[in-house]
Structure 1
Amino acid sequence: MEKQGRSEMEIIPSESHSYIKLLKVNREHLVTHVRNTQCLLDNLLQNDYFSAEDVEIVCACPTQPDKVRKILDLVQSKGEEVSEFFLYVLQRLADAYVDLRPWLSEISFSPSQLIQSKAVVNTDPVSRYSQKLRQQLGRDSKFILCYAQKEELLLEEMYTDTIVELVDFGNESLGSLGSLACLLDPSTGVLNEHGETIFVFGDAGVGKSMLLQRLQSLWAAGQLDAELRFFFHFRCRTFSCFKESASLCLRDLLFKHYCYPEQDPEEVFAFLLRFPHTALFTFDGLDELHSDFDLSREPDTSSPWEPAHPLVLLANLLSGKLLKGARKLLTARTGVEIPRHLLWKKVLLRGFSPSHVRAYAGKMFPERAVRQRLLDQLEANANLFSLCTVPLFCWIIFRCFQHFYDAFDGSPQLPDRTVTLTNVFLLVTEVHLNRTQPTSLVQRNTRSQTETFRAGRDTLRSLGQVAHWGMEKSFFVFSQEEVQASEVQEGDLKLGFLRAVPELGLGGDQQSYEFFHLTLQAFFAAFFLVVDDKVGTRELLRSFQEWAPHGEAAAASCYPRFLPSQCLGGRGLAGEDPFKNKDHFHFTNLFLCGLLSKGKQKLLRHLVPAAALRRKRRALWACLFASLRSHLKNLPRVQSGSFSQVQAMPTFLWMLRCIYETQSEKVAQLAARGICANYLKLTFCNACSADCSALSFVLHHFPKRLALDLDNNNLNDYGVRELRPCFSRLTVIRLSVNQITDSGVKVLCEELPKYKILTFLGLYNNQITDVGARYVARILDECTGLTHLKLGKNKITSEGGKCLALAVKNSKSIFEVGMWGNQIGDEGATAFAEALRNHPSLTNLSLAFNGISTEGGKSLACALQQNASLRIFWLTKNELDDEVAESLAEMLKVNQTLKHLWLIQNQITAKGIAQLADALQKNTGIMEICLNGNLIKPEEAKVFEGEKRIVCF
């Protein structure tokens, strides 16, 4: 009916200047669609077009339509100028009168200079609420939430980008994210047009919360999508603070527990319900949502006014039953998955690259000399630099360096020994405990680490008791009573390990607390388990049960139900929850191994009776080896040629990390003996460079030769450096999609020729240039048993291509070379042509997507006339034309050994295909020539239907 009324509506152009008539003709349309009368009254009154009495008359009308009619009557009675100003207000405040945008566009209203000189104020409740949200988020996101509560670091000055990748459903990379604004861009990375959730995931400490804080800051500054008028940010862990009896409607959750509109909340909420696409919800840390509340007993709710438990509201917001159309951004740690039908985009955070670490150092240490001293120490310790690829650990290490710089007269020295994560957290704990010491201009604090921990034992035990209690129940937010019950003193809170929960109100009127990060809570929980005399071995090892295969965790019932699966539509799941993330247990295990290691006995002997310490150590090692054997025994195995391949899981990496924390060569040797397979596949485990330290620590003890597949992780150059101890064992090295640059390839070039056992080198989709290509060529020259080389999708041009081609030419062992997605061009192709002539072993070659045109294509075709080894040749996505097709046809009359020729997506027409087809009459060896995506029409392709070896579509 509205559309019909609009079509019958008379449109009077503004040039007629009969604004009174325009309002009169379109009266009912205005009455129907003007929902905000207060904004009009405020502007008419401010510009002296209405008197106070006029406003009273309008406000006395009983309904909104009556108010609009009365305003129109008064405006028209006051003449053309007032009528023109009325239209001007509607035009200027388009957000307040969103339903009138099409009409205002159609009438082409153009106000006079007089009217344009009038001030227009936006008192629209929706606009004012949106502005209030911007002010609140701008204030809340201005400073970085640091663990040291006294520090205030400006987000704008300190924020450093991390590696952010768009991925598909299987976590395969779709490319890097250009900017945070691209998260909301519908033109890139969309997996499911009907989904509403942007799912951001990554390991603990890689910067998920910081990304959200930066996103909040951008929205508050108006630098995101202009249509987003609402931004609601919640942290999932705070929903655990609601009592089981809590009940509220969506309106109260948004307004009373987030930000309340100062004016007309009913109108604001009605706008939100009507235009849900103007809202962005962010939910941080789905994996940290734990509660005993059973969602399965509660019905779904799609009514925004119906009261329900807050967790029910959260579940229905995430599933789209409430506010369907609103965009949701959800974060969780790696390992948590959500149903595909909810996903709009999927984003993986990988932390800092080495260049990001340097950029971050520049922001943390503006003084060049100080910054360079830090970077020199990091460069000298690859293990320490590897830890810095996790932004949280990087920040902690930098803060410790700053403390030592201030405390030791500008001569700071980070540990030059092997640095474990336990060492880092002991260091930051020491730094904070020493903050309570009185400072002096003439005398600095000289307490040793042992003295510091002995003096702070009670504080550490109290904090540890809170942390352990939370770990057992998977709780990360603590009430004031829970903190006081653990005897945490006021002075302990000032240390900065515990901080006040930012969202006040979710847990009631009393203050709630949380550790500044999950990893710190895990550290304190482990510390408590080690130093508390009452903790027995059973309680000490309870978190290790999370490593048991499905169905074997004896104490699974001790832990409350984990809610994310229910929130996302996975009700009624039997057994272990597939959405459950175990990082907090894994970190506890890791810190237990570090604290109970031999190297920490000197520190702990003043805190724990020697007998208790020995008992706990023995129990831990027995449990660790039993867990490792059980885990490896249950891993799926595949026999592939001479290899017994095992598909390892992320839990295996956690176990290796724990072994590394012990820093015991004996423990590493025993672990290496337990690895029965000789092909370890660790793809898509989100391994970082620090994990390579753990891998090498164990694998260099492996008694036989080994294949190691680390494709699709985040190792970078420092990970390659950390792998050096185990290169003497590796015959297969797969490092594709790992952010590796020429620097990392240089390490490979220096190390691999020492042993000459390499048969497979995979470096696909990294950041290797011509410099790195020369290093690879040297590896190929010196590792005479190398059979497979994967270098596709790097940054190699003709210069690098020529070096590689020469190395291939000289190799008598190379079987397969993959160069897809580089830019070697015709020069590089000509060099590879020379390599192909009479090559004794090269069987598979891909030069697809390399910018090869006529000259390079003809050279390759000519060379193949003198080749009897090549069986598969990929030339997809180049610029090959009919001239090249003619040369290939001549080649096929001679070469009878080539089996597969892929010419997909080139520039060959029906003429070139006809020549290839004719050549097949004299060739019985070729099995297929793939020509999909060339310049041939369907009707032209019918001519070649009789030749089954020609594939056109």
Structure 2
Amino acid sequence: MTEICCTISTILHQKKLITETEHKEIKRLHDIPQKMASSEFLCKVVLEKENAQAGRAMWQELINFQTNPQCQKLKSILCEIHAKGSALLEEITVNAVGSEGVQEDLKEAQQLHKETLRDRNRRLVMNSIIGREKVQSFLLEDHYTDLVVISSLREMRVVEHELLVRGRDHERWRQQVIKKELETLKHHQIFRSCFGIESRSTSVAISGVAGIGKTTLLQKIVYDWAMGKIYPQFHFIFHFKFRDLNSYGSTNIRTLILDSYPYLSRDLDTILQNPSNLLFIFDGLDEFRTTISFTGPSGCNPDVSLCPDPVTLCSIADIVRCLIQGKVLEGSSVLITTRPTVLKLLKKSIIHLHAEILGFNAEQRKQYFLNFYNTEAIGEKAFCYVEQNDILYTMCYNPSYCWIICCSLQNTFRETPGEQLQRPRTITELFSNYIYNILQNHTQEQSHSQDILLRLGDMAYQGISERVIVFSESQLQENGLQPSQFLSGFLMEILQTEYSLKREAYSFFHLTVQEFIAALTRFISTPPDQVTQLLDRASSIKDGKFEIFLRFFSGLSCPWYQKLEPFFGELPYATTCRVIDWVGKRLLRKMRNKRKLLNSFHCLYECQNKGLTQAIVTKIKNINFSKTSLSPVDCYLLAWAFEPCEMIGILNLQYCQITAESLRRLVPVLHKCAELWLLNVNLGDEGLSILSEALRRPDCRIQKLVLASNNLTDACAPTLADSICTNQCLKQLILSQNVFTSTFVLSLNRIILDCGNLKDIFLGSNQIGDLGVKRMLEALRHPNCKIKSLRLWDNSLTDICAEELCAALEENTTVLMLDLSRNAFTAQSVSSFVHLILTSKSLQDLQYSGKIRF
């Protein structure tokens, strides 16, 4: 409310519901700035009024403001007021006087519980590929970095592969956070109401892609609670991982808790008597092998609880479902984390808050690099290198990718001068370097490393096929892998082992590591004559789970693979040829499927084969990615691919909603397009400024430029005019459905007179008005005017400009078509239009109300 306090005060003052003195004081406090005091004073003034008219007016304005994208918090506040009603006042009152502490007979149990959780969560542990240390351990308090977490009920859908799709959205979300269109949360704010009070009986779902920091965020929450820093309303927190719960059959809540916290056996029954003081945390829904149905099992009434109490035996799925829905231990709170790919499972559940972890912002990425290396100087060098590589930099929003990139670059950046080692450019080169560094640390095991890695690859490939990312000990044994190999082998640096509840679970350090291992081992072991069949089969899978696998497989045909030959031997030349041939044919074959076409370009980039690239792109005349979400990386790849071309026919990006950053990546090839379609891409004035770089080039070939529906304003008009008049190549300019006014016409006249080849101008559905048309008359009368088609539909034109416009066009000898439809002309103007048709030297088609032809 602090952001809109002055606006509401002004409205109330205009309606004479508050005095001039009161309004000035509210504004003074807001401008100091003491925005909170300003809001409090406004509320005080309104509440003290004798009648309720001022209060009603204030609430009405608040309701009107809730649709404002910069007032997301206000919308949440109003929803909470509506949902809780008078109960909200009770919550605030209880919070003001202090919440009830843990009962006396449970204090000892709580203290032991907090000490246990403190010890379990004190340190961050990561497998290492650096030096001879297998595990690196850090104090959580020293190394935890805040993540960007947004509170948002965005669309829940299965996304394409998470490696770059979230990078694609990340820049857009970052801009929304800056503009306050998205509300951000700190880890200590998740269980607070919109009024800042500690909230009970809440279900929260936090989503985030693999490696983004979901588990670490939970670790921070549990640790800080155990330290007494946050959430005093919860007397006990019970933390579980779905990967551990996979091994359970029928159980009950009581047994589930005691398996993890056996020291609570004496007091658990008492603890469970006050469920409103309890928080249950479940980490990694995507790792749970049983589907949780929030609509109830088939044939069952979803309102009937299959877990009526803490002692009834039932499945883990029913326990989680009933806890979230409040059908068991009613009043307790639940926090659940998941990857976005399974968010749809929660769509019909009762979730009070959906939050999403975006990962690192630009400053946090750099800080990660500076902290990782021995000196800040090396960290600065490494970060500068990554920042200049669009592929690698985009990955750095994810903490796990930051770790992989830093590890892979470790040996290529040194304090002392020496041999300059080749640095990775593509994701295939990056992960090849990652595996190379691991194998280099285990040279004594080279004799059997290939055999172990091939078995590991079989398990990884099967996991991708079945969407399995957590493996049991029995699954390792089925693939000929023995857990004992972790004691001395390199395997533990690729797989993570977790010992919890006396059960062992194994997962790759990151999903993308799993996909690289699968691709590498298939690349090594597949006979050349079966390569095409393998790639076709992976490509035919519609849900996109093999997209990154295909990129890796393609990239391994790059000469960088030679780096791994000491460990796996020389690869048959025929395999590389089959891969390159497949990539080329697939790209030309998938032109109609935009997502597969885009992934084919990614595969082409991974190959780093300039000859293949040039041979393919010269055969592609038109590029159509309309209605496709393009990230800065996607745009960078398109620019890279088409850089060898001298001419591109049509580049169709309409309805892509690309960011200014994405457009900047395309600048090196935009000038090569004969037609550039940027309809409804949210370009804005900033994007137009970027586009002008391409338009100004002396070799610009753009003849048709479509910029309709892009929120362009008069502010960008001089830049547009300067760039268009520079190239002298443009024939058709479409600027419909923007927000140009009469001021824009001053720049438009320059375009009409100085751009000799321009023939068609579309200005429909703007705000040119009568004044704008009158300003245009000078250009239309000028002998240098070459315009043949002028479209001014829906521009608030009236009879005021009709006569002068017709008079100017009588002198014009070039305009063949004039569209004035959907304006405010009346019968008064008909005579002018008829006279124009009869006397014009060139006009063949005039449209105003209906159509008149001759």
User: TM-score normalised to the size of structure 1?
Assistant: 0.55
- 1:515 maps to 508
SS in 1 for 2:652: strand
Distance 1:773 1:162 in 2: 40
- Are the counterparts in 2 of residues 777 and 804 from structure 1 also a CA contact under 8 Å? no
Instruction: Tell me whether 1:692 sits opposite 2:635 in the alignment.
Output: yes
Cα distance change on mapping 1:430 and 1:759 into 2, 3 Å? same
2:766 pairs with 842, 845, 849, which one? Answer: 845
Which whole-Å deviations, capped at 9, do the CAs of 1:417-446 have from their partners, x for residues lacking one?
A: 7x11111111122222333469xxxxxxxx
- 1:358 maps to 366
- 2:734 maps to 787
Instruction: Tell me whether 1:759 sits opposite 2:705 in the alignment.
Output: yes
Which whole-Å deviations, capped at 9, do the CAs of 1:846-899 have from their partners, x for residues lacking one?
A: 79xxxxxxxxxxxx88667767975446xxxxxxxxxxxxxx9xx9562569xx
1:492 pairs with 473, 477, 489, which one? Answer: 489
2:568 pairs with 607, 613, 636, which one? Answer: 607
1:724 pairs with 638, 645, 668, which one? Answer: 668
- Are the counterparts in 1 of residues 622 and 648 from structure 2 also a CA contact under 8 Å? no
Instruction: Tell me whether 1:548 sits opposite 2:528 in the alignment.
Output: no
1:151 alignment partner AA: Q
1:520 alignment partner AA: V
1:180 alignment partner AA: K
- 1:251 maps to 254
- 1:265 maps to 268
1:376 alignment partner AA: C
Which whole-Å deviations, capped at 9, do the CAs of 1:76-121 have from their partners, x for residues lacking one?
A: xxxxxxxxxxxxxxxxxxxxxxx9x999x99x999xxxxxxxxx99
Deviation at 1:759, TM superposition (A): 1.6
Deviation at 1:590, TM superposition (A): 2.4
- Are the counterparts in 2 of residues 303 and 322 from structure 1 also a CA contact under 8 Å? yes
- 1:680 maps to 625
Instruction: Tell me whether 1:706 sits opposite 2:638 in the alignment.
Output: no
- 2:283 maps to 283
- Are the counterparts in 2 of residues 525 and 588 from structure 1 also a CA contact under 8 Å? yes
Higher-Rg structure is 1
1:149-164 map, 5 Å: 149-161=134-146, 164=149
- 1:313 maps to 319
1:586 pairs with 542, 547, 554, which one? Answer: 547
Which whole-Å deviations, capped at 9, do the CAs of 1:385-408 have from their partners, x for residues lacking one?
A: 3443444323322233344446x6
Distance 1:109 1:339 in 2: 36
Distance 2:107 2:146 in 1: 31
Deviation at 1:248, TM superposition (A): 0.6
Deviation at 1:529, TM superposition (A): 1.6
Distance 2:802 2:111 in 1: 74
Cα distance change on mapping 1:872 and 1:261 into 2, 3 Å? farther
- Are the counterparts in 2 of residues 201 and 334 from structure 1 also a CA contact under 8 Å? no
- 1:530 maps to 523
Which whole-Å deviations, capped at 9, do the CAs of 1:658-703 have from their partners, x for residues lacking one?
A: 33222234554676589797431354x4x54333343334455695
Deviation at 1:270, TM superposition (A): 2.5
2:378 pairs with 332, 348, 370, which one? Answer: 370
- 1:663 maps to 608
Distance 2:576 2:489 in 1: 29
Distance 2:753 2:337 in 1: 50
1:364 alignment partner AA: F
Identical aligned residues as a percent = 18
- Are the counterparts in 2 of residues 717 and 741 from structure 1 also a CA contact under 8 Å? no
Deviation at 1:845, TM superposition (A): 3.2
Cα distance change on mapping 1:486 and 1:776 into 2, 3 Å? farther
Cα distance change on mapping 1:542 and 1:259 into 2, 3 Å? farther
Distance 2:416 2:123 in 1: 29
2:126 pairs with 119, 143, 146, which one? Answer: 146
1:591 alignment partner AA: F
Cα distance change on mapping 1:422 and 1:128 into 2, 3 Å? farther
Which whole-Å deviations, capped at 9, do the CAs of 1:625-680 have from their partners, x for residues lacking one?
A: 676677655x4xxxxxxxxxxxx34x554443233222234554676589797431
Deviation at 1:234, TM superposition (A): 4.0
- 1:337 maps to 344
Deviation at 1:707, TM superposition (A): 1.2
Deviation at 1:741, TM superposition (A): 11
Cα distance change on mapping 1:259 and 1:252 into 2, 3 Å? same
1:392 alignment partner AA: S
- Are the counterparts in 2 of residues 593 and 658 from structure 1 also a CA contact under 8 Å? yes
- Are the counterparts in 2 of residues 497 and 515 from structure 1 also a CA contact under 8 Å? yes
1:394 alignment partner AA: C
- Are the counterparts in 2 of residues 681 and 709 from structure 1 also a CA contact under 8 Å? yes
SS in 1 for 2:264: coil
- Are the counterparts in 2 of residues 401 and 413 from structure 1 also a CA contact under 8 Å? no
- Are the counterparts in 2 of residues 290 and 474 from structure 1 also a CA contact under 8 Å? no
Instruction: Tell me whether 1:394 sits opposite 2:402 in the alignment.
Output: yes
Distance 2:297 2:528 in 1: 36
Distance 1:317 1:536 in 2: 53
Moved more, 775-784 or 425-434: 775-784
Distance 1:762 1:146 in 2: 51
- Are the counterparts in 2 of residues 422 and 661 from structure 1 also a CA contact under 8 Å? yes
Which whole-Å deviations, capped at 9, do the CAs of 1:428-487 have from their partners, x for residues lacking one?
A: 22222333469xxxxxxxxxxxxx988953453354344345445443333345446325
Distance 2:147 2:682 in 1: 16
2:306 alignment partner AA: T
Distance 1:433 1:540 in 2: 29
- Are the counterparts in 2 of residues 432 and 495 from structure 1 also a CA contact under 8 Å? no
- Are the counterparts in 2 of residues 200 and 347 from structure 1 also a CA contact under 8 Å? yes
- Are the counterparts in 2 of residues 548 and 627 from structure 1 also a CA contact under 8 Å? no
1:409 pairs with 400, 406, 416, which one? Answer: 416
1:731-750 map, 5 Å: 731-733=676-678, 748-750=691-693
Cα distance change on mapping 1:137 and 1:588 into 2, 3 Å? farther
- 2:840 maps to none
Distance 2:319 2:109 in 1: 22
Cα distance change on mapping 1:248 and 1:462 into 2, 3 Å? same
Distance 1:250 1:813 in 2: 79
- 2:557 maps to 596
1:633-644 map, 5 Å: 633=592, 635=593
Cα distance change on mapping 1:655 and 1:219 into 2, 3 Å? farther
Structure 2, unaligned runs of 5 or more: 1-86, 129-133, 157-171, 196-200, 755-759, 778-790, 804-823, 831-854
Deviation at 1:332, TM superposition (A): 1.3
- Are the counterparts in 2 of residues 721 and 747 from structure 1 also a CA contact under 8 Å? no
Cα distance change on mapping 1:522 and 1:678 into 2, 3 Å? closer
Which whole-Å deviations, capped at 9, do the CAs of 1:725-760 have from their partners, x for residues lacking one?
A: 56633713479579x997x88764434433252724
SS in 2 for 1:706: strand
Distance 2:111 2:254 in 1: 18
- Are the counterparts in 2 of residues 383 and 722 from structure 1 also a CA contact under 8 Å? no
- 1:564 maps to none
Distance 1:308 1:209 in 2: 26
Cα distance change on mapping 1:423 and 1:214 into 2, 3 Å? farther
Distance 1:378 1:728 in 2: 28
Distance 1:254 1:178 in 2: 32
